Amino acid sequence: MSEEQKLAQSFSKSEQHLDEETLFVVSQTFKALSDPTRIRILNLLCTGEHSVNDIAETLNLSQSSVSHQLRFLKNLRLVKYRRAGTTLYYSEDDDHVMNLLKQAIEHAAHH
């Protein structure tokens, strides 16, 4: 069975089980991936753990903007953090969504 056939079969099975909570989580995940700043942050976190200051400097964003976006992503459990003294270090927390992001970036690069 080809990958496309497996994917189509998987979609037909899951289509029958789309409850309200699942629909909400899926829509929030795509909402998270619909913002260019969040995409840039997640893409950077694909390379490893980064502090808020490092993210802000690397992406040329304000710390408050980065903190706001990270809070949104943390609430969706797409990123996690660890504290070292007064510094928070963020990393990815959902391999499925990160794979989706990587695939979308690869798809866009082919056009």
pLDDT tens-digit map of 19-65: 999 899 899 999 999 999 999 999 999 999 999 999 999 999 999 99
In order of 8, 12, 27, 33, 107, the CA distances from 18 in angstroms are 16, 11, 12, 20, 26
| Amino acid symbol at 111 | H
Average pLDDT over residues 2-30: 76
pLDDT tens-digit map of 70-93: 999 999 999 999 999 999 999 999
- Name the residue with higher pLDDT: 57 or 15: 57
Angle value at C-alpha 15, between 79 and 46, nearest 5 degrees: 20
